Amino acid sequence: MAQKCEMKLLGSCGSPFVTRVKFVLKLKSIDYEYIKEDLANKSELLLTSNPGLQKVPVLFHENEPISESLVIVEYLDEILPNVHPILPLNPLDRAHNRCLAYYIDTVYCPWLKRFMLARDSKKKEEAKRLIIGGSAMLEEAFVKLSKGGTFFGGDEIGYLDVVLGCYLGWFKFFRIIFGFNVIDEARNPRLVQWEKSMWSHEVIRSVIPSDEIYMNFFKMLLGFLPPMPMHVRARI
């Protein structure tokens, strides 16, 4: 049954950080109103609710704004700890989860962006090499943190599942557009299983934006950049 909370989410299509928050709202069965933000023409609501960073997502709980996706995820977990708990209970496990989430957002994710926007093949190969190394490290972390379970959170979707899972649509997009497996059967067999389990989870599948949304987002990025190589253009 949906939880009765006064929640609004300010977001934009294709943003992994917004997707992450949507995962948790849905896993916890929280009703909310979605407000679409135009990042090319930022609204008064965004500028006043998140004046320092001016980024989505912003969650409003009883009209109080909260920004930064990881902060929002933890906040939701704190106010509704008994409905689909997200963070592990053990403090050491929590610390490991938070540390890896920090790595994913500040190191690994920027490599994905670097790969996507790299124009010459040398820069692309360099970004690819970094991503492959990062995915190998995430595979090791998965083996350790999942404790034999299907997800990073064990038998249930947990913190790192929503943190990394919000990039699943982008991983798929990379396969289609660039022919590049960010996580790969030969190199990352456990993460490939994890990816399949995530896609077959009803909540996760229902929240990940469509291929079309990723394509439009990518085209918007391209609009600001010099032309892409022909073999990539042909797939767009």
Ligand X SMILES: N[C@@H](CCC(=O)N[C@@H](CS)C(=O)NCC(=O)O)C(=O)O
Residues near ligand X (CB under 6 A)? 12, 15, 17, 39, 54-57, 68-70
Compute the distance between CA of residue 107 and CA of residue 87 in angstroms, rounded to an integer. 21
Compute the distance between CA of residue 212 and CA of residue 32 in angstroms, rounded to an integer. 24
- At its nearest, how many Å lie between ligand X and the CB of residue 52? 11
- Residue 190: what residue type? R
Burial profile 44-61: b = 16 or more Cβ within 10 angstroms, e = fewer:
eebeebbeeeebbbbbbb
CB closer to ligand X, 42 vs 175 = 42
CA-wise closest residue to 15 among 45, 41, 38:
38
CB closer to ligand X, 26 vs 190 = 26
CB closer to ligand X, 110 vs 229 = 110
- At its nearest, how many Å lie between ligand X and the CB of residue 67? 7
CA-wise closest residue to 73 among 145, 165, 140:
165
CB closer to ligand X, 15 vs 188 = 15
- At its nearest, how many Å lie between ligand X and the CB of residue 119? 21
- At its nearest, how many Å lie between ligand X and the CB of residue 16? 6
- At its nearest, how many Å lie between ligand X and the CB of residue 39? 5
CB closer to ligand X, 27 vs 70 = 70
Token pair 């990940």 is found at 208
CA-wise closest residue to 132 among 171, 195, 187, 213:
187
Please give the distance of CA 35 from its chain centroid, rounded to a whole number.
19
